[in-house]
Amino acid sequence: MNGVFDSAELASYHDNGYLIRRGLFTEEEIGLLAETARNDHALDQAATALDDGEGNRVRLSLWNHPGEGIYGMVARCRRMVDSVEQLIGEEVYHYHSKMILKDARTGGAWAWHQDYGYWYQNGLLFPDLCSVMIAVDPATKENGCLQVLRGSHKMGRVNHILSGEQAGADRERVEEAQKVMELVYCEMDPGDAVFFHSNTLHASGANHSENSRWAMICCYNAASNNPYRESHHPSYTKLHKVDDSKIIEVGRTEAARSGVEFANIEEDDQSAKVLAESGEEP
């Protein structure tokens, strides 16, 4: 299969549940993405702010279909999709993308969770999904970079409960997992990306720094893992790959046009609602 990874990197992903790829996007590519996002009024307006329980708010905007703008070119380019297909081992489709707007001084923390902790609720039988977090701004410990527990994807799905406005993994399990697995801070420069398995436990701290930490996360599902019922994220929809050169081409000519329809997370997100209704206790 095509993609950016050699066999040692593939083995590392399967062992650790994550893999950081430095410079996946060039300075110009990430610059165009950042410029579009910063000027994107609709992205800002669509952002949902979730209370992190510690006085800060996590802001994010989400869209289900990648579209024809620069966000879509990033999510659909061969470099990305071929690489995710290498990791998952088969055809994938776009499950959704989001921009995490972790603003300077106010950006909130993310509780420890697995993405499959949410997505399980959407009728997905297998955790055959992968997320790719692309650093738009530098991501450091100080501004709340992503943290992962190395190898935690091997735990399988952990129960999740809604605490405040975020779903978090069962705290006792997380505490025990932290005793036996290494906590890795995924510090990244703009254009770097971390690929992670949907069962990898991850979190991030609040941003108390003077620098924003925006990141785009593209999530993909295996084509064979079509959900058995409909949810607020798409069922199998063929992903039309584009050449890597389209990022610059579209970014230069249509930098201001995101080309996506943003979701209303508060109204549409059934996975969080199901967790709230299930009343699972930690």
Ligand X SMILES: O=C(O)CCC(=O)C(=O)O
145 vs 131: CA distance, rounded Å: 15
Q: Which residue is nearest to ligand X (CB)?
A: 204
Cβ proximity to ligand X: between 117 and 151 the closer is 117
Q: Report the nearest approach of ligand X to the CB of residue 186 (Å).
A: 9
Residue from 96, 202, 233, 246 that binds ligand X (CB under 6 A)? Answer: 202
CA–CA gap between residue 116 and residue 75 (Å, rounded): 20
Nearer Cβ to ligand X, position 100 or 181? Answer: 100
Mark 216-255 with x for binding to ligand X (rule: CB under 6 A) and - for no binding: -x--------------------------------------
Residue 115 sits in the site that holds ligand X (CB under 6 A): yes
Say if residue 259 is exposed, middle or buried (CB neighbours under 10 Å; 0-12, 13-18, 19+): middle
Cβ neighbour number for residue 141 with a 10 Å cutoff: 13
The residue whose two tokens read 């046009």 is 257
Helix (H, G, I), strand (E, B) or coil at 243: coil
Q: Is 50:57 a contact under the CB 8 Å cutoff?
A: yes
Structure tokens belonging to residue 149? 């527990």
Judged by CB under 6 A, the number of residues near ligand X is 8
Torsions phi, psi of 75, nearest 5?
A: -70, -25
- What is the nearest approach in angstroms of ligand X to the Cβ of residue 120? 14
Calculate helix-pair angle for 7-16, 78-88, nearest 10 degrees.
Answer: 60
Binder among 36, 61, 83, 204 for ligand X (CB under 6 A):
204
| Token code pair at residue 238 | 């063929």
Per-residue x/- marks for ligand X, 139-168, CB under 6 A?
-------x----------------------
Query: Is 103 or 244 the residue whose CB approaches ligand X more closely?
Result: 103
Nearer to ligand X, 135 or 222 (CB): 135
Residues in contact with ligand X by CB under 6 A are: 100, 110, 115, 146, 202, 204, 215, 217
